[in-house]
């Protein structure tokens, strides 16, 4: 499977046990999951401007612009950023 089609957890090969351990380290609770899921509709309405602004900030750095300054790379980066951010709001 292509790396960009996998979750970060899958890409980093983090096991479910390790994932649960990390949530415990950050005191991430069921209430946090509920809050993130509840905020998802708001994030859906804001995702495009958030990603555009973040992309604009990144491209201010010449060393980053060299890597992702072309249209194809920018489109891929924005697509991956949107997917990642929205995954965070799945809880």
Two tokens, residue 89 = 């709001």
Q: 């992309």: which residue's tokens?
A: 55
Tell whether pTM > 0.85.
no
pLDDT on residue 69: 80
pLDDT on residue 81: 92
C-alpha to C-alpha distance for 12 and 10, rounded to whole angstroms? 5
DSSP 40-61: HHHHHHHHHHHHHHHHHHHTTS
C-alpha to C-alpha distance for 25 and 27, rounded to whole angstroms? 6
- Do residues 32 and 88 touch, judged by C-beta distance below 8 A? no
Two tokens, residue 5 = 């089609």
pLDDT on residue 1: 58
pLDDT on residue 90: 87
Render each residue's pLDDT in the chain as its tens digit; 91 residues.
565 666 666 777 778 898 889 889 999 999 999 999 999 999 999 999 999 999 999 999 999 999 988 999 999 999 989 988 998 898 7
pLDDT on residue 46: 97
Contacts of 36 (CB under 8 A, 6+ apart): 88, 89, 90, 91
pLDDT on residue 14: 79
């Amino acid at each position: 499977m292509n790396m960009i089609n996998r979750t970060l957890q899958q890409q980093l090969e983090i096991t479910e046990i390790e994932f649960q351990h990390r949530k415990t380290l950050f005191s991430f609770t069921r209430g946090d999951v509920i809050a993130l899921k509840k905020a998802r509709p708001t994030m859906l309405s804001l995702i495009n401007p958030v990603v555009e602004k973040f992309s604009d900030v990144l491209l201010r750095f010449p060393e980053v612009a060299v890597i992702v300054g072309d249209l194809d790379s920018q489109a891929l980066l924005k697509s991956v950023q949107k997917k990642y951010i929205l995954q965070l709001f799945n809880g």
